[in-house]
């Protein structure tokens, strides 16, 4: 499927793992941000240190964009194997930039591309580096210069990005700058995108105050802004970079950051820190969370806050460790043995991640429960331009008694049977009253109680679910109140749906979308009203079984028929083309380019 998006350019950089692909992508994305453009990126790579087929995709536009296309207008090829793999994602009439020198080895590929009216832009990258007495990997900088000129942008902006990249290695800077300039000069003015049929008008510098970062970085910053004091983790892709980001921030922020030997210890240390009054968090993926679930139950019975981020990747077992998915929703909702209150939330992009992380701490402490914050590999590692964060938007709510109340507390207050299910929690040692944080069933003061009264305490903890359901925000509607075709989903699907709504609006086809951020306890009233007004309703999820659909049905909501489910479970995110093709199939109106 070839789909035109007149307001964006789609750049795809292809190269093997270990080729410097990620650095090339980050340099270009930051430079595009510095031009004032809206940028969305993603990196796809296999679970290999070196080798395999990888790509770094950048979509950019002078207008706000949120999701990604799976096609490329311009392709920058770092090597032959990945050119062979990804050449068919380059649109007919697009542009290929490469520095390959053994031209006979790609003669057939180039001929095939030329038959598709693809413009070939070439320069001998290795020869240019040798002329400048540089190292082999500087061929990437030559190619950066070439593609930057191809895009029609001024040299100064990409020079500034290179200077930033090599600020800590000044001995390499001048050679890299010369390689960049030589690559830039190799491209004739007539070979730039400014003269092509998919030129974007009105590039400006109106948004240069925006920041660009990935979802994991945003979660780390959100945790710092939310008052987190301790972070414990065992590295597991795609959550690992949260640990890396926080380790770098630790000296300045004063946060205790520790890599622990396994996920069981991680969860127990996080819960222990929270019991002692510390705002603490951990992050993992589905397999690591499996090992944490006994501690999730302990958090539930001792009513102590526990915040866990699950960065989802497809399972089962090791599954697809470097790819994306939404397969752990029901795991998060049903994790841990026994019945107790817990919350499950999701983030949709980097901007959302910053604020939802802070809310997760507030919810965990207010309701004294485990909170699972779901993200995905696509969100965790994709970069996006966002407005500078407002660190004061989410007030800190610790749910602790005022100092004046501490003297009058009684030990029976700790687990008192209340209508809301929420009792008074205080930090051990802050009040003369003591209590037992008992993993066995217990009475109001935490002392062991195996009498029939145990049922009252279980019911008390479960009442938190109804309290949260009444207090949590409703899902949000994007687009018009009624539409020709409607969707309901969660997580990263919001990004692609925002672009799809805009895409079809320009073609007079109304699309709307109901987005869930708070997934458990699940609110269904607005969903039912939305469904009544929008009978052509479809589920969109990145998993095989339609887990949100099943969760809605389990809570008594009207079931979405299987024929009305757009599901994807191959490790790739939803691309614009996926949703556009589905809408064209399931509505009476075609979107004509």
* Range(s) within the chain of domains with CATH label 3.40.50.970: 212-386
C-alpha radius of gyration, the chain, whole number: 26
pLDDT score, position 200: 63
Q: DSSP class of residue 412?
A: G
CB of 382 within 8 A of CB of 215?
yes
- CA gap 168, 155 in Å, rounded: 22
- CA gap 128, 150 in Å, rounded: 18
pLDDT score, position 197: 60
* Range(s) within the chain of domains with CATH label 3.40.920.10: 9-205
CB of 43 within 8 A of CB of 381?
yes
Does the domain at 9-205 match CATH 3.40.920.10? Answer given as yes
pLDDT score, position 592: 42
- CA gap 10, 72 in Å, rounded: 5
What pTM value is reported for the model?
0.96
- CA gap 263, 265 in Å, rounded: 5
Opening angle at CA 34, ends 5 and 193, nearest 5: 40
CA distance to 11, 286, 370, per residue, from 376 (Å): 23, 11, 19
- CA gap 416, 193 in Å, rounded: 69
- CA gap 37, 31 in Å, rounded: 9
Cβ neighbours of 22 (radius 10 Å):
17
Beta-ladder partners of 485:
511
CATH hierarchy code of domain 476-586: 3.40.50.920
Task: Classify burial at 457, counting beta carbons within 10 Å of its beta carbon; exposed 0-12, middle 13-18, buried 19 or more.
Answer: middle
Q: What are phi and psi of 171, to 5 degrees?
A: -65, -20
Q: Which two tokens stand for residue 242?
A: 């949260």
- CA gap 176, 165 in Å, rounded: 10
Q: Which of 538, 540, 535 is nearest to 578 (CA)?
A: 540
| Under-70 pLDDT residues of the chain | 1-2, 196-208, 588-593
Beta-ladder partners of 75:
12, 96
Q: Do the bridges between strand 343-346 and strand 370-376 make them parallel or antiparallel, or are there none, so unpaired?
A: parallel
* Range(s) within the chain of domains with CATH label 3.40.50.920: 476-586
pLDDT score, position 591: 45
CB of 99 within 8 A of CB of 143?
yes
CA distance to 23, 101, 121, 147, 171, per residue, from 182 (Å): 19, 16, 14, 12, 19
CB of 262 within 8 A of CB of 404?
no
- CA gap 370, 375 in Å, rounded: 16
Cβ neighbours of 195 (radius 10 Å):
11
pLDDT score, position 593: 42
Buried b (16+ CB within 10 A) or exposed e, 293-324: bbbbbbbbbbbbbbbbbbbbbbbeeebbbbbb
- CA gap 58, 452 in Å, rounded: 61
Calculate the CA dihedral of residues 430, 435, 437, 440 and round it to 10 degrees.
Answer: 180
| DSSP-based three-state secondary structure for 580 | helix
pLDDT score, position 168: 85
147: CB partners within 8 A, 6+ apart: 11, 28, 74, 76, 97
- CA gap 343, 333 in Å, rounded: 8
The per-residue DSSP string of 239-271 comes to SHHHHHHHHHHHHHH--EEEE-SSHHHHHHHHH
CB of 457 within 8 A of CB of 449?
yes
Q: Tell me which H or E stretch contains 486.
A: strand 485-490
- CA gap 296, 306 in Å, rounded: 8
List, as own/partner pairs, every contact residues 194-202 make where C-beta atoms lie below 8 angstroms and the sequence separation is at least 24, other chains included: 194/152, 195/152, 196/95, 196/119, 197/93, 198/4, 198/6, 198/9, 198/73, 198/93, 199/152, 200/6, 200/7, 200/8, 200/9, 200/61, 200/62, 201/62, 202/62
Q: Which two tokens stand for residue 313?
A: 């990747």
Does the domain at 212-386 match CATH 3.40.50.970? Answer given as yes
- CA gap 54, 18 in Å, rounded: 10
107: CB partners within 8 A, 6+ apart: none
Task: Classify burial at 470, counting beta carbons within 10 Å of its beta carbon; exposed 0-12, middle 13-18, buried 19 or more.
Answer: exposed
CB of 571 within 8 A of CB of 314?
yes
Q: DSSP class of residue 442?
A: B
Cβ neighbours of 337 (radius 10 Å):
11
CB of 200 within 8 A of CB of 62?
yes
């Amino acid at each position: 499927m070839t789909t035109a998006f007149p307001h964006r350019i789609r750049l795809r950089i292809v190269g093997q793992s270990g080729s410097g692909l990620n650095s090339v992508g980050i340099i270009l994305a930051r430079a595009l941000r510095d031009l004032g453009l809206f940028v969305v990126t993603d990196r796809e790579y296999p679970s290999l240190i070196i080798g395999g087929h990888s790509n770094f995709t950048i979509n950019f536009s002078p207008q706000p964009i949120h999701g990604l296309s799976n096609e490329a207008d311009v392709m920058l090829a770092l090597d032959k194997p990945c050119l062979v793999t990804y050449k068919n994602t380059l649109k007919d009439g697009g542009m290929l930039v490469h520095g390959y020198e053994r031209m006979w080895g790609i003669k057939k590929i180039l001929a095939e591309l030329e038959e598709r009216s693809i413009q070939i832009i070439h320069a001998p990258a290795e020869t240019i580096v040798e002329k400048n007495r540089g190292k082999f990997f500087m061929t990437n900088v030559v190619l950066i210069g070439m593609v930057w000129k191809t895009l029609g942008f001024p040299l100064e902006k990409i020079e500034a990005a290179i200077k930033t990249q090599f600020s800590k290695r000044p001995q390499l800077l001048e050679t890299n700058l010369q390689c960049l300039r030589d690559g830039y000069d190799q491209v004739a003015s007539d070979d730039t995108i400014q003269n092509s049929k998919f030129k974007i008008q009105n590039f400006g510098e109106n948004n240069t105050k925006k920041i660009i970062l990935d979802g994991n970085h945003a979660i780390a910053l959100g945790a710092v802004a939310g008052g987190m004091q301790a972070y414990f983790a065992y590295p597991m892709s795609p959550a690992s970079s949260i640990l890396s980001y926080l380790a770098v921030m630790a000296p300045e922020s004063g946060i205790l950051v520790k890599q622990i030997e396994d996920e069981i210890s991680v969860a127990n240390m996080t819960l222990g820190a929270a019991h002692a009054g510390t705002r603490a968090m951990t992050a993992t993926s589905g397999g690591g969370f499996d090992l944490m679930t006994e501690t999730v139950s302990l958090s539930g019975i001792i009513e102590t806050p526990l915040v866990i981020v699950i960065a989802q990747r497809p399972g089962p077992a090791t599954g697809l460790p470097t790819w994306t998915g939404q397969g752990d929703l029901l795991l998060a909702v049903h994790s841990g043995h026994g019945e107790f209150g817990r919350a499950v939330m999701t983030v949709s992009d980097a901007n959302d991640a910053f604020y939802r992380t802070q809310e997760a701490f507030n919810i965990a402490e207010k309701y004294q429960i485990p909170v699972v914050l779901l993200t995905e590999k696509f969100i965790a590692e994709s970069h996006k331009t966002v407005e500078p964060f407002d660190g004061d938007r989410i007030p800190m709510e610790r749910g602790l008694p005022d100092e004046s109340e501490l003297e009058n507390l009684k030990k029976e207050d700790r687990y008192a049977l209340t209508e809301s299910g929420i009792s008074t929690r205080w930090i051990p040692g802050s009040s003369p009253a003591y209590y037992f944080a008992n993993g066995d069933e217990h009475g109001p003061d935490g002392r062991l109680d195996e009498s029939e009264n145990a049922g009252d305490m279980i019911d008390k903890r479960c009442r938190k679910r109804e309290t949260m359901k009444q207090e949590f925000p409703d899902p949000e509607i994007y687009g018009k109140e009624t539409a020709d075709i409607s969707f309901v989903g969660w997580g990263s699907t919001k990004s692609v749906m925002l672009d799809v709504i805009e895409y079809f609006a320009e073609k007079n086809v109304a699309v709307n979308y109901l987005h869930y951020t708070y997934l458990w306890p699940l609110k269904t009233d607005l969903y039912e009203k939305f469904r009544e007004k929008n009978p052509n309703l479809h589920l969109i999820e990145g998993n095989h079984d339609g887990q949100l659909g099943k969760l809605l049905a389990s809570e008594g909501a009207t079931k979405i028929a299987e024929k009305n489910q757009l599901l994807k479970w191959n490790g790739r995110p939803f691309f614009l083309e996926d949703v556009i093709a589905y809408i064209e199939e399931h509505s009476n109106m075609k979107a004509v380019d």
